[in-house]
Structure 1
Amino acid sequence: MRRNLILLLAMCSLVFLWSALGWGQCVQDTGDHGLIDDVFIDCTPPDQFASDSAVVSFDLMFTTDNALANEKIVGWNAALLISANCSARVVIDDTPGGAVFGGTASGSPNDWEARFNSSIPPSGIAPATVIYGAILDLLPPVNAGPSLGAGTHILCHVVVVVYDTCCITIDTTSTQTVQLSVVRNDAVGYLPCWKGPYECCVTPCAGEAAPVCNAPATDAGLAGGVIDFPVTATDADVNCCYTFTSCSFDILENPPSEGAASLLGTCGANTASLTFSWPTSNLDPEGVYTIVFTFTTDCDEVVACTTKVTLQAKCLFARIGNDAIGSPGGKVQVPITIEATGTSVGGFTFCIEYDPVLLTFVSLERGLFFDEPGPFAGAYKWHYLVWRNNPSTVIHKFKLCVVGIGKLYYYEGKCLPQGDSGKLMLTFRLSNNELYRCFRAPIIWERLDPECIVNAFSDCSGNVVNVPDDPAFFDPQLCPGQYPKAEVVPCARLVDGGIVFKCDIDPLVRGDINVNGFPYEIGDAVLFANYFLSGVGVFSADAETRERQINATDINADGLTLSVADLVYLLRILAGDQAPLGGAKLTPLANTVDVTHKGNLIYSESRVDLGAAWFVFKGEATSVVPMITGVEVKSNVSNGETKVLVYGMHKGDKISAGTSNLFKIHGEVELTKVEAAEYYSAAVNVNIHNTSIAAMPKTFGLSQNYPNPFNASTTIRFALPMNSDVSLKIYNVAGQLVKEYKQQMNAGYRSITWDGSNAKGEIVASGVYFYKLQAADFTKTLKMTLLK
């Protein structure tokens, strides 16, 4: 039986007549002034504990007042009767510095050892008797010097090992007595008196405090990696029950790699400080695993604690943000997060789908990792990132497809290393329809289509392609040989996302741009017109109010705010030509207008009547002089730009079809942007022609092509402060020359239109291209994107 025991010191001195004890007559030490010296037993606390026993000891003591100095014990012998009511073992301690005696034992049994209550007592008698032999050479106590001083001195130390609750009795026998001869310095001898018998009892040890187990509540890792974390158990007990004899664990789900797991460290006294180490396997299924740690003390106290470990496959994860919230008509950013959990990413191609009735795609921008700048303006270390937004093969959906390559060009590139993550930021405008409030607009990864265009992620080497392991995205049986030169690994996890239309109803009405509670009034038109001249600073400084004002400018409900078409629609409502949101939906960009900047004059050529036109010039004009009548011409100069708005406030006010001289502008300016709308607010395409000779540039310059991205053709504008030999070279991403324009040009603002063809007249593929302008000592390179 396993049990720790602690000594309960219960010394019960039983008074007996000396003659009955078999000591013989004790002799009074006449030098002690009538006092008698004693021999007695002193019980001591347990020396140590074991799992099933306790070690108890007692001492045979001699005490004297030593009134006369230099008392000496010249010899002694004793027969002690030691009995116990339990299983016990007696050992006599005669180590140096221990008992104050020397010599050998006599009697039965030998070896200074007696056993109690065994089935066949070795001594042949029960209880057994230990007989001490005569002293040959007395070793005085440490504090006594060459002779015994006053006080108490140990004659011998007896150790008893007990295995259960019991009491031990120590006395002399009736036939053999303690004979202790003491001689004073005056050669007078005497016998001290025995005060026995004595009883030393032991009782079971009980734990004082319950053990405590500590392990993390949760942990996570990848299949194939190592899960490790600290686990501890503590016990505040002092006397016993504080040794942890067993430290174990169990993974309840029994994964294939459970046999490799272990607890590292010491399972010992008071504190068990361990480390749980689990080398997982790629064969371990994904999921949550419950690990139970169990600790047991030497008193059979048990304590347990639990850790939940989430194990993910060593795959790649791509997640579309799912927590974006926006108001109808507002813009919302949604991240696409690519987590290179189990592989690197050197390139990708993927498509996402959304409902164009609910969402209008605005832009895709580089985010975390992908936005690290490259060695020159407009370059990035993640080289290639293009997108295409087209109607999906699924009815009523649009498909946004994205292609990215980390290392493609001649300059330093980078790939997404394993364990890292990157983000791409999508911007959508929510439909400006109050009926969609609380509605969720899903944004999902494109499922498998008949053409087997899959969402795939290549590693940095290009030799491994990670595809979705869900057959809804990629089915190798339906799309065999999709990547014949690469190892196809079905270990990409795609997580859909979406945007939620805000449920709270904003205090906003379409057309109430000045948010005074009255929509479609002249104040709204004036404020809206001022925006085109001075920017968003004309709206409220409060961000929430400003957002409501901007949303209220979607007068024609096409999902786009702050457009000239919205301004014209508002003017038509005020003039009585249109009703708010009335009539059939207008077809935008059905007509085209040519706007020419010739000398100081700005004029338009149009097949339809225009309700308004907005002009943005680079440079600050010195004056703007209206040339047209029947409409308003307003202008503003700030921050290096000049903005001019031509619009009609009343019914019939318009820019008539045909050629119309609009205004003259003076100063060093360049026309960079024009927006226009028909009289009934449909937006129109605008072609800009800069033939101005009045404003001469002072320095060389190269502008960003427009439009960009472009389809079919784009215009590249540049400034020449002097007559120059001009070379415009267009390169593909591999650094190969696609086309070159070389000619002598006069000073001024010039432009070249590229139609997307190479030197042979062949239309080139969609992608990123670079155009490099050289004129005199001036050289500059910019980037443009061709989409088909």
Structure 2
Amino acid sequence: MSKRCLSSAMLKFAIAIMTLILLISFSFISSGAYAQEKISILIPEDPTFHDLDSYLDIPVVMVNNTDINVGGFDFLIQYDTGAVELLDVNLGPVDHCNWALIGHRPEIPGVEKIYAASGPNPLGCDFSYSTDTLFYLQFHIKPDTANECLTFPLRFYWVQCADGHVINTVGDSVYISDSVYDPYIGDFIQQDDTFPTIHGLPDSCANIPGGNKIKLVDFYNGVINVACIDEIDDIGDINLNGIPYEIADYVLFQSYYIYGPDIFNIDLQMQLGATDCNKDSTYPTVRDLIFMYRVIIGDISPYPKLGDDGNELIQPTALFVQDTLAQEVHLVFPDSLSAIHLIFEGEIVPDYSGPEGIAYNYDGIVTRLLLNPGFSGTDSAVYQGLFFTYTGDGIIDSADVSDWEMRDIASEVGVIGELICGDANSDGLVNISDAVYIANYVFIGGNPPFPLESGNVNCDGAVNISDAVWIINYVFIGGNDPCDADGDGIPDC
């Protein structure tokens, strides 16, 4: 009988561990990683020209989820010559890697060849288990109104067996297309075909000489969007006086975050639409506020483009944790933030010692709080740690943030009172999500538990994968409570 009970417990434990592994895998995917144990080459789906006769840099990115150290690549990329001109290919992101050969050239009209290869000397970059921008395609949209409101495909292309591959630094293996996804069609389009083709390398190429050929590369095509130009004439003109990007527009935009949408009392919908300063069709956001500020001080052009900013595949997360006992709000984020908007259910009065101060307002239901750069020339950046203290009994409800580069940063909020051992994600509960949170922290550099002691569930003084396993045991098979190392029902740490 005891043997049967042991088997049942072991089975539950095995199921629990497999569940954790699956959840960690899903977490990798949701945080921006592509297919596991493969190499993905991708073009983003959201590059948009917001004006005719303008320019746009479009990145081509490699997501390498293998231990293969890439030693070269050769791609053909097809574009619509009727709509755009390819002015150049900027290989700057990898130009420093000591390639023996690197460059680009037209292959046929509307198709550009981009290539790099290592030589006898060691390559100066390690591309294993990494996400890297390989190059930027620099396009010009033609001044033809017929292009407005349209989307044009931007695709990988094959005209011979040597096209569309990645090689390792040893040079004994060639990694070829396993799948091709096309957002213009909305489906995977990999199929056996004849040259020229957009459907991946034909099967007939598998047996030709030239190294071990392995289907390991997923290609993700992109698109080029052209906005409806007439629809964005009021961008940046929030007070609708016909002059965009004035200080008065910025002040009114700030007031929206402090006092709510009632402050837009001229034409609510038009004023809301005018806040889409970065023209990503999501508005208003704090990223738009920072964009407007940078335009006003002359730091950037009012015409956004894709480039080094805003193209991260793994979305960072800013976590705000409210400690209701200490009456403190903490930020958990590895970098700095330039603007922060928080909403609390109920009333609080913040006490913040930063140079720019915090603007806030309680409307009888919620407290809105905004920190953003002013024009005094002082640094308003906020870093990880204690953000501010407060008085009052409001509870944090939501957050919106931006850094100086206006990246797409996810925001999460949590509330703690007395420390709950095992509540790594500060949601007030101990469950499987805490195990996943710890696993993300340990394996992929996710945010740490806050406070850190909440993740030390086995009382060994460190937060590691054994703490995630402890929570799995607790949740699935009735293991000891978090922080009850000896099982006597009394917390030991």
TM-score by length of 2: 0.41
From the two aligned structures, give the one with the greater helix fraction. Answer: 2
Greater RCO, CA 8 A, separation 6+:
2
From the two aligned structures, give the one with the greater strand fraction. Answer: 1
**Greater Rg over alpha carbons, structure:** 1
